[in-house]
Chain A
Amino acid sequence: MKILVLVKEIIDTNSKIVFNKQKKLDESQVKWVVNLYDEYALEEAIRIKEQFGGEVVIYSVGNDRTKDTLNYIMSMGADRAVLIKSELTDAKSVSEILAKQIREKDADFDLILAGWIGIDWNRGQVPGRVSSVLEVPFVNVVIDIDINGKIVTCEKEGESSNEIIDVQLPALITVQRGINEPRYPSVLSIMDNTEKKIEIVDNIDQSTTKKAIIKIEPEKNRKKTYMINESDPELAVKMLMKKMIADKVM
Chain B
Amino acid sequence: MSCDVLVIVEHNEGRLKNVSSEILSFFGKIATDNGVKVVAFIFGDHISEKLYCDIGKLGIREIVSHVNNELDEQPGLVAGMIADLAKKVKPKLIVMANTVKSRDSAPMIAQKLDIEMFSDILNIDYKKTVINLARLVYGGKAIEKIKLLNQQALITVRPNVLGNDENEAFIPTITKLKTNELPRTQTYLTKAKITKEKVQKPINEADVIIAIGRGLRRVEDLIMVNDLARVVNGVIGSTRPVVDMGFVRRSHQIGQSGRSVSPRLAILLGISGQIQFVAGISKAKTIIAVNKDSKATIFKSADYGIVGDIYSIVPILTRELKKLKLQNR
- Interfacial residues, chain A to chain B (CB-CB below 8 A): 11, 13-14, 17, 19, 25, 36, 90-92, 95, 119-129, 131-133, 135-141, 153, 155, 157-168, 171, 177-178, 209-223, 225-230, 233-234, 236-238, 240-241, 243-245, 249-250
Contact = CB atoms under 8 A, between A and B. Distances in A.
B100 interface: yes
Given A226-B303, A233-B309, A213 B146 contact: yes
Contact of B79 (A132, A136, A221, A243): A132
Contact of B104 (A19, A140, A221, A244): A140
B190 A233 contact: no
16 contacts: A119-B139, A124-B119, A128-B104, A132-B111, A137-B188, A138-B75, A140-B100, A161-B193, A177-B250, A212-B153, A220-B143, A222-B287, A222-B302, A223-B303, A237-B320, A241-B324
Interface residues of B, number: 89
A62 to B, nearest CB: 18
A13 B279 contact: yes
B73 A163 contact: yes
A240 B288 contact: yes
Contact of A164 (B110, B145, B151, B192): B192
A25 B142 CA distance: 10
B90 interface: no
A126 to B, nearest CB: 8
B168 interface: no
Given A141-B100, A162-B193, A217 B142 contact: yes
A155 B304 CA distance: 40
Contact of B112 (A36, A132, A153, A162): A132
A111 to B, nearest CB: 13
Contact of B188 (A120, A121, A168, A241): A168
Contacts of A165: 188-191
B189 A167 contact: yes
A160 B188 contact: no
Nearest to A217: B143
A92 B300 CA distance: 37
A36 B256 CA distance: 10
Contacts of A95: 111
Interface stretch (B26-34, B37-45, B130-138): B130-138
Given A120-B138, A125-B117, A160-B196, 7 more contacts: A121-B144, A138-B75, A162-B193, A164-B193, A216-B144, A233-B309, A233-B316
Contact of B189 (A120, A159, A166): A166
A127 B110 CA distance: 12
A68 to B, nearest CB: 21
9 residue pairs, one from A and one from B, having the closest CB atoms: A128-B107, A13-B139, A132-B111, A167-B188, A129-B111, A213-B147, A159-B202, A210-B151, A233-B312
B139 A133 contact: no
A217 B136 CA distance: 10
Interface residues of B, dominant DSSP: mixed
Contacts of B128: none
Contacts of A128: 104-108, 111
A91 B117 contact: yes
Nearest to A215: B145
Interface in B47-83: 73, 75-76, 79
Contacts of A222: 282, 287, 300-303
B114 interface: yes
B245 to A, nearest CB: 14
Nearest to A244: B304
Contact of A161 (B79, B196, B316, B324): B196
Contact of B320 (A227, A241, A249): A241
B63 to A, nearest CB: 24
B137 A164 contact: no
A209 B139 CA distance: 27
A218 B185 CA distance: 42
A160 B145 CA distance: 32
Contacts of B317: 237, 240
Nearest to B309: A233
B196 A162 contact: yes
B108 A238 contact: no
B152 to A, nearest CB: 9
A79 to B, nearest CB: 28
A177 B104 CA distance: 17
Contacts of A19: 142
Contacts of A249: 265, 286, 303
B100 A159 contact: yes
A63 B151 CA distance: 29
Contacts of A229: 294, 307
